[in-house]
Amino acid sequence: MKYVVNGKVKNTKNNSDSNFQPTIKVNVTDHPKNFEDVLETLGGFGMFQVLVMFLYLILEIPMAFAIFIPIFVGRSPEAWLCNNVTVFESEICQCNGTIAGVSNESIVSEWNLVCGNAWISDFITSVQMVGLFFGSIFGSQIADWYGRKSGFLLSILLVSLGSSVSAASPSPYVYAVSRFCSGAGIQCFINVTGAGVMEFMPPKFRSLANCIGPLGEGIMILSVISYYVRPWRTLYWITTAPFVLIIFIFPFLPESPRWLLRQNRVEEAHAVLNYVANVNRKKQIDINVLKEIAKSEDQSCSQTSQNEHPGYLQFLTDRNLRTTSLFIIAIWFAWSLTYYGISFNIKNLEGHIYINVFLKGVANALGQRATLLINDSMGRKISLFASMTFGAVFMVITAISFLAMGVNVPGELVLVLCLLSLFGMSATRSTSKLLTGESFPTNLRAMSFGISGIAITLGGVLSPQLAFLGSNWPAIPFFVFAIVSVGGSLVSFLMKETMGLNLDENTTCDEKEDEET
């Protein structure tokens, strides 16, 4: 006998009559058993999913502005005034009179952050990194407690406020506080969008959701804007203006129905899924189906995982969550140390800063898209290993070049090698986000990105120190980056492969089943 299940023919033995083989059509999407089945019933990947990606990710372009604008507004100009006489930057500390900047292109020239005050610029960078940490921890928790929309709105408000205050800052200390605010919003945005977009996607399209973000394009646009708009305060206002789009985006941005079901807010989840059905031009789903799915999840998962306001303590007390969290922290630390280390190095390379940053954006954009070719064919773990190893190979080549030729290594060669390494690490970022989001249950997903933010912050703090070490021994940082990168990729093999699995497969639930077995 032949059965047609979702368009695929399956054979079973029929001993009574070998000549008679009726075909019975059974479509499992008529009887959804989990949320993935619901998504398939409503069209799988349709126009609604395209809309969600656009609404969540379009603001990633101005977010790239906010992340990388310090490259341009925090650089020191080559020419200064000493008693109204033009001198070079290397001579400014020998000035016995009044020091002043020639232009208003950066905070360094406006506030004379040189010589004895040069530490202030690095201090502001450290303050921003602390902001990333707090935004990662608390912003993610708000998204898991009060919903993805609330976390998304909070992130935009924080970055908008921080960038606006930065533009109007009367002193470097106010500016430092504003960068803390911006840093918190930036990491909150990254974590919330990582969880929010993924939860609307069927399994085979989750990779697309993590590869399509226009971060690289935002970096390229920023380099062009910065080239034509030199005054740093004006540059801040121009790059902050696009965040006003939140007024038009937020009313159309739906809450995650997967998160709503986890909160037992079935009626609200049903309303969102009706919205999905209308946009995808599919039949609306019966609310009783959602009630059954919510009920089955309540019965299958432990009481801990269904806590209305779960906290980070769960990542320590639950055995499976604790182990997975440690692996994720190791992977993200390796990525952060390497990615930011290369980025700091590109900023200090010879050549035109605007062209270098533009090429950095190209490498980011291409690296993100490249994972579309391997994530769903090779799996998350192999993809992560391949991308990190790809980057490590060119880091080793760079280090060997410095050992062989010393400071005589052509700047163009170093730039190309760094961009190729950055290509690999940008691909790693997309795969790491995908693996992180798929490894944790819905009510802890945003906080899992918060856990990764701790590692990102630590790597971001250490990478400038390695870059400084490279000023005397240029080969050492690249060897360190390569070793850490390969080590992080090997950690992924200790994790469970998540390709094609339902997001509802709760880690805590798996632990309970293991104990029962």
Reading the chain (517 residues) residue by residue, the pLDDT tens digits are 444 444 444 454 444 444 444 433 434 445 777 788 888 888 888 899 999 999 999 999 999 999 889 888 887 777 777 877 777 766 777 777 777 777 778 888 888 888 878 778 777 877 887 888 888 888 888 888 888 999 999 999 999 999 999 999 999 999 999 999 999 999 899 889 988 888 888 888 888 877 888 999 999 999 999 999 989 999 999 999 999 999 999 999 999 998 888 888 889 989 999 999 999 999 888 888 888 877 776 655 544 445 556 677 788 888 888 888 899 999 999 998 888 888 766 655 667 889 988 998 999 999 989 888 888 888 888 999 999 999 989 988 988 888 888 767 787 888 888 899 999 999 998 888 888 888 888 777 888 888 888 888 888 778 767 766 766 677 888 888 888 888 888 888 888 888 877 775 544 444 444 444 4
Residues 292 and 329 in one domain: yes
Helix (H) or strand (E) holding 422: helix 411-438
- Measured distance CA(468)–CA(486) in Å, rounded: 22
225 shares a domain with 100: no
Whether 336 and 454 map to the same domain: the answer is yes
Contact 357, 462 (CB under 8 A): no
What token pair was written down for 173? Answer: 């200390």
337 and 477 both lie in a single domain: yes
187 closest CA partner among 135, 233, 252: 135
Distance, in Å, from the CA atom of 503 to the CA atom of 202, rounded to the nearest integer, reads 9
Alpha carbon distance 73, 240 (integer Å): 14
Domain harbouring 447, CATH code = 1.20.1250.20
Domain end (from 112, 135, 168): 112
What dihedral do alpha carbons 341, 347, 350, 351 form, nearest 10°? 140
Shared domain for 7 and 129, answered yes or no, is no
Q: To which H or E segment does residue 491 belong? A: helix 475-491
Closest CA to 461 of 65, 55, 183: 183
Q: How far apart are the first and last CA of the chain?
A: 35
State the Cα–Cα distance between residues 139 and 155, nearest whole angstrom: 7
Predicted structure pTM score: 0.82
Domain with 378 in it = 35-76+113-516
Note whether 103 and 53 are same-domain residues.
no
- Angle formed at CA 504 by CA 501 and CA 508, multiple of 5 degrees: 105
End of a domain among 90, 112, 134? 112
Query: Are 218 and 63 within 8 A, CB to CB?
Result: yes
Distance of CA 165 to the CA centre of its chain: 25
**CA angle, 154 as apex, 162 and 316 as ends, to 5°?**
110
Please check whether residues 82 and 179 belong to one and the same domain. Answer: no
Does 25 share its domain with 91? Answer: no
Query: At 236, which amino acid appears?
Result: Y
User: Which tokens in the block code for residue 183?
Assistant: 């840093």
| Same domain, yes or no: 51 and 102 | no
Number of domains in the chain: 3
105 shares its domain with 246: no
35: left (phi over 0), alpha (psi -120 to 50) or beta: alpha
Q: Which two tokens stand for residue 23?
A: 């075909």
**Is residue 127 domain-shared with residue 21, that is, in the same domain?**
no
Q: Where do the DSSP E strands lie in 394-506?
A: none
Same domain, 445 and 510: yes
Task: Fill in the DSSP letter of residue 106.
Answer: S
Q: For residue 80, what are its two tokens? A: 């200064």
